[in-house]
Structure 1
Amino acid sequence: MSHDDLRALFLNCTLKKSPERSHTQGLIDLSSRIMEKQGVQVEHLRPIDHEVATGVWPDMTEHGWARDAWPSIYQRVMAADILVIAGPIWLGDNSSVAKLVIERLYACSGRLNDAGQYAYYGRVGGCLITGNEDGAKHCAMNVLYSLQHLGYTIPPQADAGWIGEAGPGPSYLDPGSGGPTNDFTNRNTTFMTWNLLHLARLLKDAGGIPAHGNQRSQWDAGCRFDFENPEYR
């Protein structure tokens, strides 16, 4: 099955600017190589390299900020059938950059597509987590809940990660960490990648999520899609 009409965007929410080595990028590379072998057009982006303003509006230059790179990043998000948010664990939680990215995705979640659905409908989301402390499942839960709440479709086993021993220790790409050869991580990353591909293929071929019962434009126009509230009687 061909996937050369699919596009994937990996947002690496590391705290390190390019070209500093990112352990998260090491795990991203495992997933993206599988996609590229299937013909997917893959793009990597580190939000930390761009002046992304803080806030929950689509363009923060309209709200007091001198610069905001988010509008241009948003165009790349919308061009992608698959979005993977990846990042490190700090203090048991997602990085500040990952939280910023989710807030900015949320800022645009009220926009609608041509069918009157929320803009992110028909796209697939996943996440990758790295670190040398506990919290991988907590971080993944936060990312995946956020993506589905905004309108992304989440496949089975849509997260993968690697953490070292609890406490200070080597990170994923450090010599002797065992990260790149860890079978659990490699298996989960592979399964996550293929599940993203399978679901993106299904949605692409189906023309997205069926547009009935979920169209904000129709709800605002008075359509209730068989909803009945006794209080309205």
Structure 2
Amino acid sequence: MTLKALYLNTSLKTSDDKSNTSGLIQESAKILENEGVKTEEIRAADYNIPFGMEPDMGEGDEWPKLFEKIKEADIFVIGSPVWEGQLSSITKLVLEKLDASSSETNDKGQPVYYNTVAGAIVTGNEDGGKQTAMPVIFVLQHLGFTIPPNAEAYWVGEAGPGPSYLEAGQDSEFTQKNVTMMSHNLVHMSRILKENPIPAKGNTQ
């Protein structure tokens, strides 16, 4: 069975604009595709996602479309830029929406995100790589996603304002090593869960 990976890019830019976060996402996607995984990248900024802790806020809310894609994915990665050392406002909105939709269950009665492997990709040009990845990873595992080892990759450059990922990050041995480890571990863990899903005993809602 072919695995499906969804990269949700939470850049503040829509898909008609260049995104450094997309650049690092594509490095990961290439690795997954070489492993036979079908990948898709979506820009959250292309969708109307209203504020509010409901899975569907009514007319015009496009979150349900994104949620269906997330449920279909075997691997789910959130990509966030860094602004003032923190995750983007859209990243925060997406995490809230994942929480709002978390009462849904799978066919075993487990949280709907069970047996989906997840990770985080972060780009900036000064600092905040780990600071941004931490809340993303925490919320994902708290909601039921499975987090493999080394499940984050980031580029933030040297201290002080400097080049962004597309300008210099592709030459970073550290970043390339981490995106390689993250990508392969996402695939390894997803294959394990395909063959051995998490038992329902003790974790149904």
**Smaller-chain TM-score range?**
over 0.9
Specify which structure has the bigger relative contact order, considering alpha-carbon pairs within 8 angstroms and separated by 6 or more residues: 2
> Partner of 1:26 in structure 2?
23
Q: Is residue 212 of structure 1 aligned with residue 201 of structure 2?
A: yes
> Partner of 1:95 in structure 2?
88
- The 5 Å alignment of 1:69-148 reads 69-148=62-141
Q: Is residue 38 of structure 1 aligned with residue 27 of structure 2?
A: no
> Partner of 2:7 in structure 1?
10
- The 5 Å alignment of 1:138-177 reads 138-174=131-167, 177=168
Q: Is residue 199 of structure 1 aligned with residue 189 of structure 2?
A: yes
Length, aligned pairs only: 205
Distance 1:111 1:145 in 2: 19
**Structure 1 residue 166: Cα displacement:** 2.1
- The 5 Å alignment of 1:58-77 reads 58-61=55-58, 66-77=59-70
Match of 2:49 among 47, 52, 68: 52
Task: Give the % identical residues.
Answer: 50
Once the two structures are superposed, residues 125-147 of structure 1 have per-residue CA deviations (whole angstroms, 9 ceiling, x without a partner) of 10000001211111111100000
Letter in 2 for 1:155: P
Once the two structures are superposed, residues 58-106 of structure 1 have per-residue CA deviations (whole angstroms, 9 ceiling, x without a partner) of 1011xxxx41110011000000000000011001110001111111111
Distance 2:53 2:74 in 1: 23
If you compute each CA radius of gyration, which structure gives the higher value, 1 or 2? 1
Distance 1:172 1:140 in 2: 16
Note the residue ranges of structure 2 that are not aligned, 5 or more in a row. Answer: none
**Structure 1 residue 122: Cα displacement:** 0.7
Distance 2:15 2:109 in 1: 38
TM-score, length basis structure 1: 0.86
Distance 1:167 1:183 in 2: 20
Root-mean-square deviation over aligned CA pairs:
0.9
**Structure 1 residue 49: Cα displacement:** 0.7
**Structure 1 residue 165: Cα displacement:** 2.0
Letter in 1 for 2:75: I
TM-score, length basis structure 2: 0.97
Distance 1:198 1:164 in 2: 29
- The 5 Å alignment of 1:177-192 reads 177=168, 179-192=169-182
Distance 1:160 1:180 in 2: 12
Letter in 1 for 2:48: E
**Structure 1 residue 169: Cα displacement:** 1.7
